[in-house]
Amino acid sequence: MMEKKTEKDWSFLSSFGNVFSFFFLLGRKAKKTKVFYLLSFIPVVMALIVKFGQVFASRSSLTGIYVFSNFIMTFYLQFIILILALFFGTSVCSEELEGKTLPYLTTRPVSKASFILGKYAAYTLLIVTMTVVGVILCFFILNFNQLGDLSLYKILFRDTAVLVLGLICYTSLFTFIGTFIKRSIMFGLIFSFGWENVIQYFPGSTQRFAIVHFLKSLLPSPSSGRFSFLLFRLEPTPPFMAVIMLILITAAFLGLACVVFNFKEYILEE
Amino acid sequence: MKAVIKTEKLSKWYGNILGLSDVTLDIEAGITGLLGPNGAGKSTFLKLITGQIKANIGSVRINGEGVRNNHRLFSKIGFCPESDSFYEEMTGWEFVTGLLKLHNLPSSEIEKKARKALGIVDLEKNKDRRIKTYSRGMRQRLKFAQAIAHEPEILILDEPLNGLDPLGRRKLIRLIKSLRDEGKTVIVSSHVLPEIEAMTNDIILIHQGKIFAQGDIHYIRDLIDTHPHMISVKCSDPRKVASRFIKEDFVLNIDFSSEKDTFVVKTNNRDEFFRYLPLIFIEENSDVKEITSPDDNLQAVFDYLIGE
């Protein structure tokens, strides 16, 4: 009995690994990935402009790490990770339906759960790479003259970790949405730039219905400064609880995605 | 012989549209041709027996096991879908090896099997090209390669000859026959009778979601041969040629109302008509431009058989 269970676990893991490598290769080659790589580099270009402004126009009243933190808050947390998670998460299922390639996968000896999780992991790794490369470049550009200060690297690590957690969590949500809603991008846009942007500013525990609340709870709250309005009314959840919540949300949405994909009937339009 | 695939009272609706109705079949090893006009329910049947969609009523069993959500069964099944869909950015090699990986095979085995499958369909030279650069025939062959690469016991092929040139068709038919000789179970769907005829005698006729007839192809042929055929002849001096046919018993009527230089003969004995036709052309010294059979398609035959 025990032996059978181990064999089953191994088969699930190896199927997961095989699906992951198949879609990681495919994802790397896809045109969409190249387009989103360019998009994720917009903050890098902005960072270059800011740095040139500081160097050549001698407008150096703001420190590099201050600008970097605000880049994380405005560009990455509120925009880039949402867009990347939305387009890659929903496509875990919908690109198979739109491209009519689903029969190649559902007629293989891999469980539907390992397909969803393997493809989710492959796409999440792709977008994590895109984001982390951009963030690191921004950090180096903006802190060009302070690279010897080791305390700054702690901030880089913390901010990157928050963004990675955000990507993991949002992608799981959009993977789930993609398994059962046809126009999942539209729904995702409304969720990302409607719900998430509004609910996080609600007072009391209502703001905990937004994923971004838990991400912001992991970042220090600036009491003043140009972008402090983004943390307006934030009643942070303790960091440990915030991480636990993000992990639970991810697990719940991935579990739901697997259940829906297993039982829903997908009819490919002829 | 023991049935490999068994369906019982299989029915499927898409909303109000009937996809398949009350299909009970036993399919044994060898080639079984699934023949029916477009929209007859062939693809629905194949999707049901590969567990891609679920039946509203009835059941499918392959080697005694249920199919839907039984992913382990798919190590024994190869499926070639009808739609011309691929991961376009991949190369042919990446596509076949990638899908083989999903069978949990060791990498040395994957390479061996992929090379063999691509060699069989003559794609080895083009294996490193991106699929989006492949011709229609190459794409069709690649689809077939991924279905046979893991050497399944059961092959389910949805219109596999679509888009192939005559040489490609002949090769693929020969290959399908060789799979039968290896003892495999092959189900091939098509809407072209001669294609199925070239592969097997065992056919299932499907029309409007129902099994219309099942068995030996000669029975179907007999039905078709008693069906009055329309044959359109385009030639020089059509009236003179047509007048020679008028007195023959096998000619039911002749119609001149269509194009110029053309007459349409309705005959109840096609073989006799075609035996007689060249002699008349020679005797009347008429140049033949075109001979077509406007109703020589499966839909017309089905319409005739069901009395429409």
* Gap between the terminal Cα atoms of chain B: 37
Strand partners, B233: B263, B291
Pick from B71, B85, B94: CB nearest A101: B85
- How close is the nearest chain B Cα to the Cα of A256, in Å? 17
Contacting residues of B for A103, CB less than 8 Å apart: 47, 50, 52, 79, 81
Cα separation, A127 vs A122, in Å, equals 9
Q: Would you say residue A7 lies in a domain?
A: no
Question: Is residue B283 located within the same domain as residue B215?
Answer: no
Domain that holds residue A60: 12-262
Question: Is residue B192 located within the same domain as residue B232?
Answer: no
**Interchain CB contact of A57 with B (< 8 Å):** no
Averaged pLDDT of chain B: 88
CA nearest to A170, candidates A261, A78, A70: A78
User: Which single residue is written with the structure tokens 């609600």?
Assistant: A202
User: Which single residue is written with the structure tokens 């971004």?
Assistant: A212
**Which of B220, B253, B276 lies at the terminal end of a domain, its last residue?**
B220
Domain count, chain A: 1
Give the E-state strand segments of B87-169 in sequence order. 154-158
Element (H, E) at B163: none
Pick from A18, A100, A103: CB nearest B104: A18
Q: Would you say residue A185 lies in a domain?
A: yes
The ipTM (two decimal places) reads: 0.85
Cα separation, A33 vs A125, in Å, equals 12
Q: Would you say residue A71 lies in a domain?
A: yes
pTM equals 0.84
Confidence label for A144 from pLDDT (cuts 50, 70 and 90): confident
A100 to B102: CB separation less than 8 angstroms, yes or no:
no
Question: Is residue B160 located within the same domain as residue B18?
Answer: yes
Question: Is residue B235 located within the same domain as residue B175?
Answer: no
Question: Is residue B63 located within the same domain as residue B139?
Answer: yes
Nearest CA in chain A to B78: A107
Q: Would you say residue A3 lies in a domain?
A: no
Q: Would you say residue A1 lies in a domain?
A: no
Domain count, chain B: 2
pLDDT tens string A155-207 = 999 999 999 999 999 999 999 999 988 889 999 999 988 888 887 777 777 78
Element (H, E) at B16: none
Nearest CA in chain B to A22: B98
Question: Is residue B164 located within the same domain as residue B185?
Answer: yes
Domain that holds residue B88: 5-220
Question: Is residue B202 located within the same domain as residue B254?
Answer: no
What are the backbone angles phi and psi of residue B10, rounded to the nearest 5°? Answer: -70, 125
CATH classification of the domain holding B276: 3.30.70.100
pLDDT tens string A1-47 = 455 555 555 688 889 999 999 999 999 999 999 999 999 999 999 99
Q: Give the model's pLDDT for residue A1.
A: 47
Mutant choice from B60, B69, B71, B110 vs A, greatest count of A C-beta within 10 A: B71
Q: Give the model's pLDDT for residue A207.
A: 80
Q: Give the model's pLDDT for residue B261.
A: 86
Question: Is residue B138 located within the same domain as residue B238?
Answer: no
Cα separation, A115 vs B71, in Å, equals 11
B89 to A30: CB separation less than 8 angstroms, yes or no:
yes
Question: Is residue B200 located within the same domain as residue B249?
Answer: no
Nearest CA in chain B to A10: B104
A22 to B98: CB separation less than 8 angstroms, yes or no:
yes
Q: Would you say residue A6 lies in a domain?
A: no
**Which of B220, B249, B274 lies at the terminal end of a domain, its last residue?**
B220
Question: Is residue B212 located within the same domain as residue B234?
Answer: no
Q: What is the DSSP letter of B91?
A: B
Q: Are strands B77-80 and B5-14 parallel, antiparallel or unpaired?
A: unpaired
Residues of B with CB under 8 A from a CB of A: 14, 43, 47, 50-54, 69, 71-75, 77-79, 81, 83, 85-87, 89-90, 94, 98-99, 101-104, 146
**Which of B172, B203, B220 lies at the terminal end of a domain, its last residue?**
B220
CA nearest to B103, candidates B139, B151, B158, B145: B151
- How close is the nearest chain A Cα to the Cα of B90, in Å? 7
Confidence label for B297 from pLDDT (cuts 50, 70 and 90): low
Question: Is residue B107 located within the same domain as residue B12?
Answer: yes
CA nearest to B12, candidates B58, B51, B50, B79: B58
- How close is the nearest chain A Cα to the Cα of B237, in Å? 46
Question: Is residue B76 located within the same domain as residue B195?
Answer: yes
Q: Is the pLDDT of residue A104 over 70?
A: yes
Q: Would you say residue A126 lies in a domain?
A: yes
Least confident of A22-36, B66-80, B287-301: B287-301
Q: Give the model's pLDDT for residue A236.
A: 82
The arithmetic mean of pLDDT across residues A243-256, rounded, is 97
